[in-house]
Amino acid sequence: MINIAILGHGVVGSGVAEVLHRNGQSIAHKAGDSIAIKRILDLRTFPDLPYADRFTTSFDDIVNDGDIRIVVETMGGLHPAYEYVKACLLAGKSVVTSNKELVAAKGDELLAIARENNLNFLFEASVGGGIPILRPLDQCLAANEVTEIAGILNGTTNFMLTRMVQDGMEFDEALSLAQSLGYAERNPSADVDGHDACRKICILASLAFGKHVYPEQVYTEGIGAITLTDVQYAAACGHVIKLIGRVVRRDGKIHCLVSPMLVPDSSLLSDVNDVFNAIMVRGDAIGDVVFYGRGAGKLPTASAVVADVIDEVKHLKARKYLCWEPAVPDYLLKHGDYETAALVQFETDDPAALRGELAAQLGEVREVTYDDAPADRVAVLMPSMTEQALTQALDAISHGKAVSRIRVADL
């Protein structure tokens, strides 16, 4: 029998306890040993649970208990999760976490401590919730040069964008609906501003390309500025708007960003709707592979955590594979050097003069319009150029002001 502890009995932690309790027999069969929850750390008590007697409010009860071999961290947030996980690893316990903020900020350090102590530190649930992605990515990586990863990594914003595209809802209405359904927090910044997606693409980039990428290194743009006008222009040229986290390797450097992007209707990612997530991995031998499923939620996320726990039980004396090195300088391409096509909307008093100026400056550009498009707008698909060059080109236009600029993803 292997004793474990759970730090935090919130949505995910309670799901982990529930799955371990409910499917205990088949899990024991899979793990080759039974798994007992010895302690659950939470300030609250849950007297009606069959394992009510395992609750404690003291972390010391867990870190100092030599019988506890594996600790599951599902508290979320950076502190005290970081201090607790580090203390558990230093005390000789393997750790499983679903905490993307922790892994994105401290993954390199915690992986190094785990390695030095011949322990495992696994975090499948931190990206894509229940979707198996980190292990399959590791498998793709084994025989492939992976060149790119791109995905819809945040279910809340994908739900909101789906409502805007399919139901013509305004942003604020879509946000209210997401909040009323429990998909968005009262303070929705982590989702809406792209921070959650950024943490996930950092974890994927670190694993795929071998060196830690920190969220603060990554250009991150949320969906707060997306309007129904944007959605309609996108539809008019055969695209939908999705919040995409993307990392590309080119010439030994990587470029990583989070941004709303126009995804062509022909791409599988364009059909990933509501709270679903999908992650595309592009490799030299394998081509494109996509992993799709529920990126959040109590039971999907808990099932990924429990799969990691089972893996750690099976490898109590051996190291698992997931690993990367500390960050190095000059590893990330400057955002200004990133090349992308873009859909740009200009506000103008003189559409004819603007069209003439665009043609003179940029040669042939493709104009996009739709029935009932605002009369004072001209929207064009700008050809691929660097972010810096695009900014300069837009600044140089005198007969109109660029009021919206959305990257086009060639996915």
Q: Which positions lie near a copy of itself, rule CB under 8 A? A: 15, 19, 23, 26-27, 30-31, 124, 130-132, 135-136, 139-145, 268, 271-272, 283-294, 297, 299-300, 302-304, 306-307, 310-311, 321
Instruction: Report, in Å, the least distance between residue 252 CB and a copy of itself.
Output: 14
| 253-264 vs 35-41, strand pairing mode | unpaired
Half-sphere exposure of 225 (CA within 13 A, CB side): 11
Q: Which is nearer to a copy of itself, 260 or 297 (CB)?
A: 297
Interatomic CA distance for residues 72 and 4, integer angstroms: 7
Residue 182 contacts residue 289 (beta carbons within 8 Å): no
Q: Which is nearer to a copy of itself, 142 or 375 (CB)?
A: 142
Interatomic CA distance for residues 62 and 81, integer angstroms: 14
Q: Which is nearer to a copy of itself, 272 or 354 (CB)?
A: 272
Q: Which is nearer to a copy of itself, 150 or 380 (CB)?
A: 150
Instruction: Report, in Å, the least distance between residue 157 CB and a copy of itself.
Output: 19
Instruction: Report, in Å, the least distance between residue 311 CB and a copy of itself.
Output: 8
Interatomic CA distance for residues 85 and 340, integer angstroms: 40
Q: Which is nearer to a copy of itself, 30 or 401 (CB)?
A: 30
Query: Interior CA angle at 170 toward 167 and 173, to 5°?
Result: 90
Residue 350 contacts residue 399 (beta carbons within 8 Å): yes
DSSP summary character for residue 396: T
Interatomic CA distance for residues 280 and 291, integer angstroms: 7
Instruction: Report, in Å, the least distance between residue 81 CB and a copy of itself.
Output: 22
Interatomic CA distance for residues 267 and 240, integer angstroms: 10
Residue type, 123: F
Instruction: Report, in Å, the least distance between residue 64 CB and a copy of itself.
Output: 29
Beta bridge partners of 106: none
Helix (H/G/I), strand (E/B), else coil: 169: coil
Tokens representing residue 122 in the block:
């696994």
Taken as a whole, the chain contains a residue count of 411
Give DSSP secondary structure letters for 238-292. TEEEEEEEEEEEETTEEEEEEEEEEEETTSGGGG--TTEEEEEEEETTTEEEEEE
Instruction: Report, in Å, the least distance between residue 360 CB and a copy of itself.
Output: 40
Instruction: Report, in Å, the least distance between residue 146 CB and a copy of itself.
Output: 11
Beta bridge partners of 340: 385
Instruction: Report, in Å, the least distance between residue 138 CB and a copy of itself.
Output: 9
134: which residues sit within 8 A by CB, 6+ positions away?
A: 123, 124, 127, 203, 207, 322
Residue type, 303: S
Q: Which is nearer to a copy of itself, 203 or 379 (CB)?
A: 203
Q: Which is nearer to a copy of itself, 89 or 133 (CB)?
A: 133
- Which active-site residues does the annotation give? 200
Q: Which is nearer to a copy of itself, 290 or 397 (CB)?
A: 290
Beta bridge partners of 146: 283
Interatomic CA distance for residues 243 and 344, integer angstroms: 17
Half-sphere exposure of 348 (CA within 13 A, CB side): 21
